[in-house]
Copies of this chain bind each other. A is one copy, B any other.
Amino acid sequence: MASGSEAAGTGTVSEQLDALGITLPVAPAPVAVYVPARVVGDQCWTSGQLPSVDGRLVTTGAVGDAVSVEEARAAARQCALNALAAAAAAVGGVDRLTGVLKVVGFVQSPPDFHAQPSVINGASELLQSVFGEAGRHARSAVGVSALPLDAPVEVEVIFSWRA
């Protein structure tokens, strides 16, 4: 159905993922004490996502130092994909997700690195390419001293959804 479609948001989320050539990752397994995503009414709140593929981080280190802005942007995109997968699993399928309400991006930053927005654009652009207008969200991007597993970036997302 999505063949020929280039514009975002013209089909279902899964059609749009197909059109973009994106395969959704397997949702990370729930850990003991918290869950990858929590349904709250008509919202789905993800936990902070790291840029992992098959359980391994794609990059580690501080951005602007060991990690370039471009590498960090790609890592932020991966965080958003993982958030999408976590939310899809929580609501029972990616096509139940209807939009993006909020993104918070934490970037591992030495004090002289100030391009956090450019990094988190990697997440925001992925989400907007999948959801189109419904993907436009409020956002905060900040620089933090350290992240779990030495990840360069961590992203949490609030989606809207309907059954």
User: Which residues of chain A have a CB within 8 Å of any CB of chain B?
Assistant: 30, 33-38, 40, 43, 45-48, 62, 101-104, 106-117, 121, 124-125, 128, 136-150, 154, 156
Contact = CB atoms under 8 A, between A and B. Distances in A.
A103 B34 contact: yes
B140 A147 contact: no
Stoichiometry (number of copies) = 3
23 contacts: A33-B124, A33-B125, A33-B136, A34-B139, A40-B43, A40-B102, A45-B138, A106-B140, A109-B145, A109-B146, A110-B145, A111-B145, A113-B146, A114-B146, A114-B150, A140-B156, A141-B148, A142-B144, A142-B147, A142-B154, A143-B145, A143-B147, A144-B145
A121 B33 contact: yes
B35 A138 contact: yes
Contacts of A102: 38, 40, 45
Contact of A48 (B125, B142, B150, B156): B142
A101 B137 contact: no
A141 B49 CA distance: 10
Contact of A128 (B33, B43, B143, B146): B33
B138 A34 contact: yes
A37 B138 CA distance: 5
A127 B28 CA distance: 22
A55 B137 CA distance: 21
A146 B148 contact: no
B115 A38 contact: no
Given A33-B121, A145-B145, A140 B47 contact: yes
A139 B113 CA distance: 26
